[in-house]
Amino acid sequence: MVRLLVLLLLIALPAHAQDRAQDRDAPRLELILDPRAVAPFEGEMVLATLRGIYRQVITREEVKLRPMTDFDWVRLGQDRWKEERIDGRPARVFERRIAFYPRRAGALRILPVAHALEVLGPDGGRKTVTVRSAPVALNVRPKPATGTDRWLPLRALEISDSWDVDPARLADGQGATRRVVLRAFGATPERMPPQPDLRQPWLIVFAPPEERDFQVTPEGPVATVVWTWHLRPVTGEPGVIPAITLPWFDTGDRTARSATIPAAPIGYASFSASAGPRARPVGPPGWAFWGLAGLSALATAALATRGRSPAGRLAVRMGRRWRRRALEIRLRRQVRAGDAVGARRNAARLLDEFSTLDEAERLIRLRPADEVLFAGDAAAARAGRQTSLGALPASVLSGLTSNGDAAAEPPVRHVPAWRSGPPSSRQ
């Protein structure tokens, strides 16, 4: 009986050792999350390494990471193959870095990842083997309340702001180009905020399409966003483009932060010089001076008797008609001369004083001049002066109010705060 048991044991031991060897040589694949102290927030980057251990001769391979309902993901660079000794035997190790982004909060699971291998057998034949990783559980916290719709968790954020010229000292009719570059570590381009709107009633703004790109590193993607604006003051009077604040969440310090694109003054240097203490008359007063002086006297008399007699109301109407006529004549003269900047300025004054259009409708009326001002090159600008600019008078005059009694009272319009005082009082 004892001899029989010993014989059975001797027969079973080699078979068991062979099974253990086969298990040890079987291909293995696992998804390993980088260690972290706290659970991630919704939308926060979660780094992981897909690691495979193989002892077979592999002739072709493909990783199949299917779309997931609860996660977005991005591959971080090229795959890495290396030789290692594992359990005392040589093995080929495969590694791929992946960044996952949870789409929602809760107890989530990263689905299995498949690695399709074509291996070479002992007899020289080839066969396909598919290795799968186990699912990985991950608890995700809801994003904290920020008071805004934007939620931007990052490891770091850098901002650069540059101008092609000094915007506060532009030459007459000159425009400026502003370029803001954002570099965000830990986000993909589609997660970055949209380009801010710099439009102001006193500023012509053209914004070409933004540029979005990203590079990958083993520690996460680095997104680069470039915003560009072409800016030109309407009248040249100095104004200030307000500052822009971009809130974001520092995933390293676990604190809310904000980055600021600084406020920027913009205007014509000649306007600032003429408003300085050293400004002097350049010649004897001409017809324009006496005409404006007469208009001022007429307006003063009209205001003194406004609402008291028909003569006062008639004086107001006559003064407004005289000014409107003068602006229309000047506009047509500037259009014939090809002066797009001056024509645009006078057209804006006509719409400000003699129309009740809102801002969107005013921009539509001024579009013929804007197309010339922002022509892509010199040839396009010269062609635009003969086509688009010629349509400006009709476009503007069709939006003005009647030249009759209804025009006696000026329409109430919103005046930007920067126009209400000297440059030192602007916010």
Number of domains in the chain: 3
Residues 258 and 316 in one domain: no
pLDDT digits (tens, 9 = 90+) for 127-149: 999 999 999 999 999 999 877 77
User: Domain residues for 421?
Assistant: 307-425
> What pLDDT was estimated at residue 402?
63
Residues 324 and 418 in one domain: yes
> What pLDDT was estimated at residue 271?
76
Distances (CA, A) of 359 to 44, 62, 137, 199, 321: 40, 57, 53, 11, 23
Residues 6+ away with beta carbon under 8 Å from 244:
196, 260, 261
CATH number for the domain spanning 108: value is 2.60.40
The more confident residue out of 92 and 290 is 92
In a domain, 379, yes or no: yes
- Final residue before a domain boundary, out of 140, 168, 184: 140
Please report which confidence band the pLDDT of residue 123 belongs to, taking 50, 70 and 90 as the band edges.
confident
pLDDT digits (tens, 9 = 90+) for 155-206: 999 999 999 999 999 998 899 999 999 999 999 999 999 999 999 989 999 9
Burial label for 249, CB within 10 Å (0-12, 13-18, 19+), is buried
Residues 99 and 175 in one domain: no
> What pLDDT was estimated at residue 394?
86
In a domain, 17, yes or no: no
Could you tell me which of 119, 80, 113, 88 has the C-alpha nearest to residue 24?
88
Instruction: Give the gyration radius of the chain's Cα atoms.
Output: 36
> What pLDDT was estimated at residue 362?
79
Q: What is the pTM of this model?
A: 0.62
